[in-house]
Structure 1
Amino acid sequence: MNQETSLVATLPSTPRGARAARALTVAQLAERKLPFEDAAQVVAELAANAVTHGRVRGRDFRLVLHLAQGPTLRIEVSDTRREFEPAAACGAPDPEAESGRGLVLVSALASRWGTDLGPTPLKTVWAEMDLASPISSDRGFHDPVDQYPVPHDA
């Protein structure tokens, strides 16, 4: 697979750093005239997790974007909290929870995702997206009104 690294950025483990990761992704993909909305959302979720769960005072997180033929985008977000490895399976979040939906969203938008553990304490959460065949705009969600037949006498 012919792959090009289009971005490597080290960012502060702060909300501002997470926003910068999203903005850098949008800029890189827009410059190449590639669809960026879903990729920006995936980066936002992975960066937010790195900032929230992977933060170690004084240590940054890293964002890497790889583009391959197709085009396929591989997003990698690395932090230094190896002990906070994301769950491999994304189940339905607790409806009462105020958080916990980020990896469900990543799973829905990406073709595949996972975690690689590097030298201690490095952890990289990655996601791959096929930019040539975007998911339908309705993402599988339908208006619940559509399930009821329209009365013929209306």
Structure 2
Amino acid sequence: MRPGATSTDSPEIALWRGTTLHRDARASWRARQATGLWLADADPPVRSDALQIVAELVTNVLQHVPGGRGRDWIGLRLGFGDGFVRLEVTDPGPPSPVPCFVPCQVGPSAESGRGLGIVACLSLRRGTHLLADGRRVVWADVASG
């Protein structure tokens, strides 16, 4: 598979770490803190890319997924596969039933809209899917070796 290609294949992943974050202005910071702890022994480039990716994915939830009663959380998981680290961010679900992972084409002076493009550039694979209960999972794999 070419670098940056999206895949629906599910490689084997082990040693999952996870937490649930309260959905507020500090959620991206808390996601970076948790990810940094989980990857404390990782190579600096892996850790750096993972921290940027998780911040972008959590920020997308904060900006684009409706909040409200029972929707004040964001799930975060990290798992280790053969040669990669998988980051997953789960949200309460989309307002539309069709999941997508399409980086926007933004102009050089745009102040937002680059998040998924950054994730696409830093990851080996990435994608999204809906769970049976309507929650959305957005994931990205970072090369680790």
Same fold (TM over 0.5): yes
What SS does the corresponding residue of 2:102 show, helix, strand or coil? coil
Measured after TM superposition, the shift of residue 52 of structure 1 is: 1.6
Instruction: Please give the root-mean-square deviation of Cα atoms over the aligned residues, in Å.
Output: 2.0
Query: Any stretches of 5+ residues in structure 2 without a counterpart?
Result: 1-10
Measured after TM superposition, the shift of residue 82 of structure 1 is: 1.6
Q: Which structure would you say has the larger RCO, counting Cα contacts within 8 Å and 6 or more residues apart?
A: 2
Query: Any stretches of 5+ residues in structure 1 without a counterpart?
Result: 133-154
CA distance in 2, matches of 1:126, 1:54: 16
**Partner in structure 2 of residue 94 of structure 1:** 107
Q: Which amino acid aligns with 1:123?
A: R
Corresponding position: 1:56 with 2:45: no
**Partner in structure 1 of residue 54 of structure 2:** 43
Change (3 A) 1:33 1:89: closer
- Runs (4 or more) in structure 1 with deviation over 6 Å come to none
**Partner in structure 2 of residue 123 of structure 1:** 136
- Aligned residue pairs, count: 130
What SS does the corresponding residue of 2:63 show, helix, strand or coil? helix
Larger Rg: 1
TM-score normalised over the length of structure 2: 0.79
TM-score normalised over the length of structure 1: 0.75
Identity %: 34
CA distance in 2, matches of 1:126, 1:98: 24
